[in-house]
Structure 1
Amino acid sequence: MKRILSAALTLPLLAAVGACGAYGSSAQPSGPQPRAAAATASAGALPTAPGSVTIGSADFPESELLAHLYADAMKARGVRTEIHADIGERAVSMAALKEGSIGAIPEYTGDLLAYLSSASTARTPQDIYARLRQAAGAQGLTVTAYAPAQDADTVTVTRATADTYHLSSIGDLKTVAHRLAFGAPAPTRTLPYGLPGLKSAYGVTFRQFVPLAPTGTITQNALRNNTVDAADIFSTDPFIPRYKLVSLKDPKHIFAAQNIVPLFRRDVLTQPMADACDAVSAKLTTTALAELDSQVANGASPDAVATTWLTATGLAH
């Protein structure tokens, strides 16, 4: 749902249907992350020369921010980089990758896998990544390591609601949801991870479903003025930390993991590119990404925000 609606996520919103690895959300990866070398081992060793790459971004601010983060880190390792921003929806970016006008783009593991392999039922970070490597490889593409950062769906409540009903997990709603209203974009009423998933996985049935436009401003206002008691919000929505909202854990993974992952044409990726992307991904948490998104939402340029963060983390010079 998030990537379908991504064109609507312009300043100051970056949110609407979200679940993440921070603020008590569901799909934070556990165990060691896969390395880029593992993702490309079957195709042989990567070239050691830095190489050059044009990095695309989709038509929403977070994607452009991520493109700058990965591009600048690669540039620090000698890679020649260009950014082609705002190229449109996933169908457009995939066509651009295949015909070669771009060589890489930051992606989201769950949504990308659903695009490349619609029959996949993987939900956890590790399972999605394993299947994504296979699906990408079959199309001449490859992925480097995924980040702990996720921009995925969450069921989010206010701190007051969490405290009143002792909520930390979606399952905790089972005995109280009949008193509560749930807000989300209208398709959530029938999507597998929407009302049907909440009922089948957790036994949660809300008193009322309130259709909301897919913007962070509208959703957080509905929560804060008690129009709804819970809402479907992106995990990197700047309003979550700003207003101390609580995203409930999703241990049964009704929301697919959406870890940030760089996607490359296999014939473009070099070892310095992979190393640079892995270094960024290793440090990029959901909390960090939400803070960077917040800076962009407040008017800072994605390029400047990326440069400052990379310098602070020692990934650029």
Structure 2
Amino acid sequence: MRRIVSVGFAVAAIAMVAACGANGSSSLPDGDSRAGTAAPPATDAALPHRAGSVTIGSAAFPEAELLAHLYAGAMRAHGVKVDIHTNIGERSAYMAALRDGSIGAVPEYSGALLEYLANGTKARTSQSVYTELQAAAAKQNLRVTDYASAQDTDTITVTRKTATKYHLSSIADLKSVAGKLTLGGPAPLRTVPYGIPALKSVYGVEFKRFVPLSPSGSITQTALRNGTVDAADIFSTDPAISRFGFVSLKDPEHIFAAQNIVPVFRNDVLTQPMADGCNAVSSRLDTAELRTLVTKVADGADPSTTAAQWLREKRLTVN
């Protein structure tokens, strides 16, 4: 269920991670494999060319901390003075810090941020969400840089055995077999518009049974592995997808809104070198790579060290 419902949920989600398929075991949920390159709205003024300084914050879970270090390192390579303030809390806390100037930037999830800023939206694809997000952000003295193709979004995920048995690659493929299968996920999935109601109305998919599961990722992936459920709502950067060869089914009708990684800045803080650094990361970060990095952190690696290594590998740092 969408980032960031609560700090407790998010931390539990990363532990497996249940957060918010993915390249490697599946395609990106909306089929968009490129980074966002849409031009900012015509009304936006050109960015200052001085390097400037910024404090980048993060939500209180490891993936968010990792992302803050990735974007911070790339901005430093463009001459920006960067401080990092991680683990601020859930969205209401770090957005308040962004608005009052305690921080100047934070990595976000495009669909969730748009929902927060606009109080609802019908946009679902990466580009439509981003276009609306640019406008919504501008109204609140905020500005987003390019989005990454990397997403941390809900997926309907099955084991490789189940995918092979029923020839599943898309949620639509479940229509003829879902009546034999059990779906597991957080209890709200039963009623939220993009959950079971959308599976039925959009795809004609009705599962035999729904099993409410704790948001803990370990509980969900264990239930999927031991056959307690046949399909589960799992976030696309969950390390379990790679570890256990799970298959995240494509979502061609976009019942789950795009959740591309995107940095958001105070408009009066953002400079061109900051944007250039962030855009360099976004242009290279896809879901599979993000999931690999998240897995390393979940296995005990330091987020700062993990980010620095990736930046060196991509030649995005001066170190």
TM over 0.5: yes
What is the letter of the counterpart of residue 243 of structure 2?
Answer: R
What is the letter of the counterpart of residue 273 of structure 2?
Answer: P
Shift of 1:8: 2.9
2:109 equivalent in structure 1 = 108
2:298 equivalent in structure 1 = 297
Candidates 13, 27, 32, aligned match of 1:29: 32
Shift of 1:6: 4.7
2:58 equivalent in structure 1 = 57
Aligned pairs for 1:109-124 (under 5 A) are 109-124=110-125
2:260 equivalent in structure 1 = 259
Deviates more, 1:4-13 or 1:245-254: 4-13
Distance 1:96 1:17, change over 3 A: closer
Total equivalences in the alignment: 315
1:235 equivalent in structure 2 = 236
Q: SS of the counterpart of 1:283?
A: coil
CA root-mean-square deviation = 1.5
2:310 equivalent in structure 1 = 309
Shift of 1:45: 1.1
Q: SS of the counterpart of 2:65?
A: helix
Aligned pairs for 1:34-183 (under 5 A) are 34-35=37-38, 38-39=39-40, 41-183=42-184
Q: Which runs of 5+ in 1 are unaligned?
A: none
CA–CA separation in structure 2 for the residues paired with 1:28 and 1:20: 10
CA–CA separation in structure 1 for the residues paired with 2:107 and 2:61: 12
What is the letter of the counterpart of residue 152 of structure 1?
Answer: T
Distance 1:64 1:108, change over 3 A: same
What is the letter of the counterpart of residue 213 of structure 1?
Answer: S
What is the letter of the counterpart of residue 226 of structure 2?
Answer: N
Shift of 1:29: 1.8
TM-score (structure 2 length as normaliser): 0.95
CA–CA separation in structure 2 for the residues paired with 1:43 and 1:17: 33
Deviations 1:64-85 (A, max 9, x none): 0000000011011110001111
Q: Percent identity over the alignment?
A: 57
What is the letter of the counterpart of residue 33 of structure 1?
Answer: G
2:270 equivalent in structure 1 = 269
Shift of 1:220: 0.8
Deviations 1:75-117 (A, max 9, x none): 1111000111111111111111111000000000000000011
CA–CA separation in structure 2 for the residues paired with 1:284 and 1:54: 22
What is the letter of the counterpart of residue 125 of structure 2?
Answer: T
Deviates more, 1:116-125 or 1:176-185: 116-125
Shift of 1:20: 4.3
Deviations 1:44-67 (A, max 9, x none): 111111000000000111000000
CA–CA separation in structure 2 for the residues paired with 1:145 and 1:23: 25
1:204 equivalent in structure 2 = 205
Shift of 1:14: 4.9
CA–CA separation in structure 1 for the residues paired with 2:107 and 2:96: 15
Q: Is the 8 A contact 1:21 1:149 kept in 2?
A: no
Shift of 1:5: 4.0
Q: Is the 8 A contact 1:18 1:233 kept in 2?
A: yes
What is the letter of the counterpart of residue 15 of structure 1?
Answer: V
Q: Which runs of 5+ in 2 are unaligned?
A: none
Q: Is the 8 A contact 2:34 2:283 kept in 1?
A: no
CA–CA separation in structure 1 for the residues paired with 2:67 and 2:35: 22
Shift of 1:190: 0.2
What is the letter of the counterpart of residue 293 of structure 1?
Answer: V
Q: Is the 8 A contact 2:157 2:234 kept in 1?
A: yes
Q: SS of the counterpart of 1:309?
A: helix
Shift of 1:10: 3.2
Q: SS of the counterpart of 2:283?
A: helix
Q: Is the 8 A contact 2:35 2:146 kept in 1?
A: no
Deviations 1:235-263 (A, max 9, x none): 00001011110000000000000000000
CA–CA separation in structure 1 for the residues paired with 2:188 and 2:256: 15
1:13 equivalent in structure 2 = 15
